[in-house]
Amino acid sequence: MVCGSIGYGGIDNIRRFYTLLDTEGFDTVDHIVSKGMDYSDIKDFRNKKELSRQIVNHDLEYVKKADVLVVLACMPSYGAAIEMFVAKNSGKKIVLLAKDPVPTPWSINFSDYVVTTEEELIKLLRDLKE
């Protein structure tokens, strides 16, 4: 599962990484394409409590299905942070892809691995697969 900011403009990056992982031969659980869960066009959830519940439950179900979470650290995400926390407490492996400096300890603390390039990510995922 690839996690990152959806609401703050990162949906295309998440899609690109799903495509990359598929192309490299990895099995993915793509939480975006399922049931039309692209909510990147919604700019305000304050009056969307039921939709919020549906999205969160949907995403957390995919966290349960995943063996490894790849977290894109290109921009902050409330959802990705909580998904990391839930995954960590469930014994899942978490890989943080941080191409740029990370100005917070939280994502580093909850990651099992930190990589800085796509090449490092693919190599690590292949090693974890073995």
What pLDDT, on a 0 to 100 scale, did the predictor assign at position 39? 77
Question: Using CA atoms, how far apart are residues 104 and 126, in angstroms rounded to an integer?
Answer: 28
Instruction: Retrieve residue 118's tokens.
Output: 């796509």
79: β partners: none
Task: Tell me the average pLDDT of the chain.
Answer: 88
Q: What are 26-64's pLDDT values in tens digits? A: 888 777 765 566 777 888 999 999 999 998 998 899 899
Greatest CA span in the chain, whole angstroms? 46
Q: Where are the domains of the chain?
A: 2-129
pTM of the model as a whole: 0.86
Give the CATH number of domain 2-129. Answer: 3.40.50.450
